[in-house]
């Protein structure tokens, strides 16, 4: 990737390939990269403030913006807004189940969670299954996969939406592309991805502490092309503290989206009454 960038010590790399060669250029380095990344999060408290890097205050505005984006995608990409369908989602990098509990489980009949940090996933299971007295048979967390993104292959044709938030920065470019190519198989016909992630102003920034990379919008779009994905819609997150990275939401489809002609009901059955 011919984009220049920096690491968290201020060192400049003339392009991303130079940075990746240095940090993940052989199997030992690459394995260490992923061990260090998981190791960092294993030392973080399993709480909203912990998984949000001390910025638990952004939880509400994050969820509200994600919900508005998801509602728009439902109305535009699903016939009748998905009403009457058994909807299934995968929450990638789910952490303690924050996005599932506050958003996805209200719109999807089943949500699977994918998270490599075991004590986060244990907290998610406790919150969503054991402590959630409002849980129902029609909207529930179903599977809890303690597996890293780079090793996960979904069940073919299971998911309407695969939600990837604040975790893709831990993957190398090669594993980024490989993950999305495998994950595409997990989508139902007409299903789509939502990627919500920090973005750099240009190039990239490598965080040496947690072994993650913040990519620019241009960087992301080049990778999307390599994945064979089409950018359907993007939107910038508003309302976050100014010191944080700009966060963007991307809706990605496996085929060039076709406009759907439909008559929409005024009510939708699915309508509900440093960050990980």
Q: Rounded distance, CA 112 to CA 97, Å?
A: 10
Residue 262 in domain: no
Any known ligand binding at 264? no
With 0.75 as the threshold, say if the pTM is over it. yes
Q: Is residue 273 part of a domain?
A: no
Residue 197 lies in a domain: yes
| CATH number for position 190 | 3.40.50.150
**Structural domain boundaries, residue 177:** 12-253
The number of domains in the chain is 1
32 is in an annotated binding site: no
Residue 156 lies in a domain: yes
**Cα–Cα distance between 18 and 78 in angstroms, integer?**
42
The answer to whether residue 2 is domain-embedded is no
pLDDT of residue 155: 98
pLDDT tens digits in sequence order for the chain, 276 residues long: 778 999 999 999 999 999 999 999 999 999 999 999 999 999 999 999 999 999 999 999 999 999 999 999 999 999 888 888 999 999 999 999 999 999 999 999 999 999 999 999 999 999 999 776 556 788 999 999 999 999 999 999 999 999 999 999 999 999 999 999 999 999 999 999 999 999 999 999 999 999 999 999 999 999 999 999 999 999 999 999 999 999 999 999 998 877 554 444 444 444 443 444
Identify the pLDDT of residue 132.
64
Q: What does the pLDDT read at residue 268? A: 41
pLDDT for 262 equals: 47
**Residue 139 included in any domain:** yes
Determine whether the annotation assigns residue 149 to a binding site. yes
- Assign residue 130 a region (left: φ > 0; alpha: ψ between -120 and 50; beta: otherwise): alpha
Q: What is the pLDDT of residue 82?
A: 87
Report the pLDDT value the prediction gives residue 124, as an integer from 0 to 100.
98
Name the residue among 94, 126, 127, 131 with its Cα closest to residue 111.
94
CA distance 70 to 96: 21
Domain contains 124: yes
221 labelled binding-site residue: no
Whether 173 is covered by a domain: the verdict is: yes
Q: State how far the Cα of 159 lies from the Cα of 177, in Å rounded to an integer.
A: 19
Give the pLDDT confidence score for residue 135 in this predicted structure.
Answer: 60
Annotated binding residue 93? yes
C-alpha 190: how far from chain center: 19
CA distance 16 to 6: 9
Q: Can you point out the beta strands (E) in the chain?
A: 5-7, 12-13, 88-92, 110-114, 140-145, 159-165, 187-199, 204-207, 212-215, 230-236, 246-253
């Amino acid at each position: 990737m011919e984009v220049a960038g920096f690491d968290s010590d201020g060192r400049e790399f003339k392009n991303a390939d130079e940075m990746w060669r240095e940090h993940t250029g052989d199997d030992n380095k690459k394995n260490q990269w992923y061990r260090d990344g998981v190791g960092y999060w294993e030392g973080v408290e399993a709480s909203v403030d912990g998984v949000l890097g001390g910025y638990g205050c952004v939880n509400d505005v994050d969820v509200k913006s994600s919900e508005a984006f998801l509602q728009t995608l439902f109305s535009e990409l699903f016939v009748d807004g998905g009403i009457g369908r058994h909807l299934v989602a995968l929450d990638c990098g789910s952490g303690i189940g924050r996005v599932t509990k506050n958003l996805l489980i209200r719109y999807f009949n089943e949500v699977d969670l994918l998270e490599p940090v075991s004590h986060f996933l244990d907290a998610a299971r406790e919150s969503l299954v054991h402590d959630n007295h409002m849980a129902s048979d029609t909207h529930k967390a179903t599977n809890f996969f303690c597996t890293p993104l780079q090793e996960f292959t979904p069940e073919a044709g299971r998911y309407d939406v695969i939600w990837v938030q604040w975790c893709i920065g831990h993957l190398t470019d090669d594993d980024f592309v490989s993950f999305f190519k495998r994950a595409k198989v997990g989508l139902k016909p007409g299903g789509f991805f939502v990627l919500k992630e920090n973005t750099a102003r240009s190039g990239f920034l490598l965080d040496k502490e947690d072994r993650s990379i913040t990519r620019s919008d241009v960087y992301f779009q080049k990778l999307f092309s390599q994945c064979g994905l089409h950018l359907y819609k993007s939107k910038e997150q508003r309302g976050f503290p100014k010191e944080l990275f700009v966060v963007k939401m991307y809706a990605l489809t496996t085929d060039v989206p076709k406009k759907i002609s439909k008559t929409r009901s005024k009510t939708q059955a699915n309508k509900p009454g440093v960050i990980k």
